[in-house]
Amino acid sequence: TDKMAVLKFACAAVLAIAVLDAICTYGEKYLTTSVAQWVSYDLRLTIYSHIQRLSLAFHDHERTGDLISRVTDDIENIQSFIMNGLLWKFTLIALSVVPVLFAIVYSYTRRIKKASREVRKKEGEITSVVQEVFSSIRVVKAFAREDYEVRRMEQESLEAVDIAMRARTLKAKLTPLVGIVVALGTGLVLWFGARLVMSGVFTAGSLVVFILYLGKMYKPMQEISKMTDTYSKAAVGYERIQEILQTQIEVKDLPKAKKAPKLKGEIEFNNVSFSYAPESPTLKNISFKMNAGEVSALVGPTGAGKTSIISLLARFYDPDQGVIRIDGTDVRQFQQKSLRQQMSFVLQETVLFHASVWQNIAYGRPGCTRAEIIKAAEMANATEFIEKLPDGYNTVIGERGMTLSGGQRQRIAIARAVIRNTPILLLDEPTTGLDSASEKLVFEALDRLMEGRTSVVIAHRLSTVQRANMILVVANGEIAERGNHEELMKLNGIYAELHKLQFREEEPELTKAS
């Protein structure tokens, strides 16, 4: 009876231990997964938010694909390490008594980490190539460059294979080396142990138990050799993320920056100089004043600095010297968000999102009503073509609006600017590349949009700005001439020469803003 009770107790104990082990295993997996997911969530939002806040100077020289890789793949590598690497401390304890193993693992880990860094860099380059080609697929097909792009991807992929194989070869060498050292240690224990058993000093059972414990002691060391690749990827991912997070935000709000009040739009540049690179000045000590509610134009050759003036006005960059004022206040005294909320942009390269027409227009002012969106579309001469789309305003227009013509995309961009209803309007060559019919519709829409607003217009075609209140001729980063059309023609200088070269009969004109 006693033996039966002991047997029952033993069976119950085994079952209880098994159940407890299952519960603990589940708890461990749940907790590690939960920790990994939340760390990943927090880290992804942190780096994404930081990249959003970085100035345009950072984005000017970074490749989009590499940034995408840092936000996605590098985060996943860290997440994987958190989920699978919680035996690290125990491994370090075991390695502390086995210096040979430690030396091997340490040496190979450094080499694998370096190789992993090269792998991640190459993966970022491949992502950039894919993103670049897919976003420019029309150009690729138009120039029949499909074969060239395939060869380019093949070359990038071959380089990636070569780099990845070097990294994998290092990992493949590490695990067997650790296995050999572990086998050597076990063999030595077995050899000495067997001699002790034969001499009667040690029992065979004790030797078996010791070897089992020895296996458990060595197991973490073997696991770390298997995890070296995961650790290296996580370490490289962490370094790449830190490179972004440690990048300073060049254009940021001053500690005492205030929310911009309702602006009238009087613009003043006072001795402003600016350069994208120290050795190459873009703007040189320029000064001018634009009156509120008037149309001012910037003309001049490509690369003269016209777009830089608009970028400085919107505070995408800060000038190297000088002051930019709106309504008499230095723009640096305003919070950036509140400043840009009082500006509308219509750019040469129209950017639309893979969303409905409603959503693209409403992007200018979240929370606007459907009636306001329709009114904005009417002012932008966009209603007619929108209503002919398969689902009208609910039609999803495709990535970058590629399902629409250039004129249609530009009119949606104008509707987006209309709905913002801001006192300042910035137009950067808004009619470039449009056919005559589309250009006429866009001009009519812009006329309505500019009425009563401070409008700054960049244009290569001088016929589009002849009725501007003031025209600034920008050349070599300086204001070479200023005045209205008639005054500049009388000067018989740069503007007059450009006008003669571009003169055409019956071109649409922007009416003078009232």
Q: Looking at residue 122, which CATH number applies to its domain?
A: 1.20.1560.10
- Specify the amino acid at residue 286: I
Q: Of 245, 273, 298, which marks where a domain is finished?
A: 245
Domain identity same for 239 and 354: no
Name the β-bridge partners of 473. 299, 481
Establish if 69 belongs to a structural domain: yes
Burial status of residue 162 (CB atoms within 10 A of its CB: 0-12, 13-18, 19 or more): exposed
| Total tally of structural domains belonging to the chain | 2
pTM for the model stands at 0.64
The SS3 of residue 453 is: coil
Domain identity same for 238 and 363: no
- Residues 488-506 have pLDDT tens digits of 999 888 888 888 887 654 4
Domain identity same for 103 and 238: yes
Q: Which of 75-89, 122-136, 431-445, 454-468 has the highest mean pLDDT?
A: 454-468
Mean pLDDT of 317-345: 91
Percent of the chain with pLDDT over 90: 14
Domain identity same for 102 and 218: yes
Residue 450 pLDDT exceeds 70:
yes
Nearest Cα neighbor of 359 from 416, 305, 295, 302 is: 416
Establish if 489 belongs to a structural domain: no
3-state secondary structure 108-158: HHHHHHHHHHHHHHHHHHHHHHHHHHHHCHHHHHHCCCHHHHHHHHHHHHH
Domain identity same for 237 and 355: no
Establish if 164 belongs to a structural domain: yes
- Residues 74-93 have pLDDT tens digits of 555 555 554 454 333 333 33
Establish if 483 belongs to a structural domain: no
Q: Could you tell me the CA-to-CA distances from 10 to 169, 208, 209 in Å, in that order? A: 49, 23, 21
3-state secondary structure 38-67: HHHHHHHHHHHHHHHHCCHHHHHHCCHHHH
- Give CA–CA dist 152/155, Å, rounded: 5
Nearest Cα neighbor of 74 from 29, 105, 119 is: 119
- Give CA–CA dist 447/178, Å, rounded: 76
Query: For the chain, first and last CA: distance in Å?
Result: 109
pLDDT of residue 270: 94
Residue 457 or 69, more confident:
457
- Residues 257-301 have pLDDT tens digits of 999 999 999 999 999 999 988 788 899 999 999 999 999 999 988
Mean pLDDT of 94-116: 67
Give the E-state strand segments of 238-351 in sequence order.
267-277, 280-290, 295-299, 321-326, 329-330, 343-346
pLDDT of residue 80: 56
Residue 478 pLDDT exceeds 70:
yes
Mean pLDDT of 303-316: 89
Domain identity same for 32 and 144: yes
Q: Of 179, 212, 245, which marks where a domain is finished?
A: 245
Residue 45 or 509, more confident:
45
Q: Of 390, 421, 452, which marks where a domain is finished?
A: 421
pLDDT of residue 417: 86
Domain identity same for 144 and 35: yes
pLDDT tier at 115 (50, 70, 90 boundaries)?
Answer: confident
Tokens at residue 132, please? Answer: 């670049």
Establish if 495 belongs to a structural domain: no
pLDDT of residue 379: 86
pLDDT of residue 514: 39
CB atoms within 10 A of CB 83: 18
**Strands 321-326 and 329-330: what pairing?**
antiparallel
Mean pLDDT of 9-38: 69
The SS3 of residue 350 is: coil
User: Percent helix, strand, coil in the chain (nearest 5)?
Assistant: 60, 15, 25
pLDDT of residue 98: 58
pLDDT of residue 513: 42
* Domain span including residue 406: 345-421
Half-sphere exposure of 127 (CA within 13 A, CB side): 18
pLDDT of residue 258: 93
Establish if 492 belongs to a structural domain: no
pLDDT tier at 302 (50, 70, 90 boundaries)?
Answer: confident
Mean pLDDT of 142-168: 76
Residue 331 pLDDT exceeds 90:
yes
Residue 419 or 62, more confident:
419
Tokens at residue 218, please? Answer: 């060595």
Domain identity same for 370 and 237: no
Establish if 97 belongs to a structural domain: yes
pLDDT of residue 273: 94
- Give CA–CA dist 423/250, Å, rounded: 27
Q: Looking at residue 363, which CATH number applies to its domain?
A: 3.40.50.300
pLDDT tier at 325 (50, 70, 90 boundaries)?
Answer: very high
- Specify the amino acid at residue 32: T
Establish if 235 belongs to a structural domain: yes
Return the minimum-mean-pLDDT range out of 5-14, 15-24, 75-84, 266-275.
75-84
Return the minimum-mean-pLDDT range out of 13-17, 196-200, 506-510.
506-510
Collect all residues with Cβ–Cβ distance below 8 Å to 473 and sequence separation of at least 6: 299, 300, 479, 480, 481, 482, 488, 493, 494, 495
**Strands 424-428 and 343-346: what pairing?**
parallel
CB atoms within 10 A of CB 170: 21
Name the β-bridge partners of 270. 323
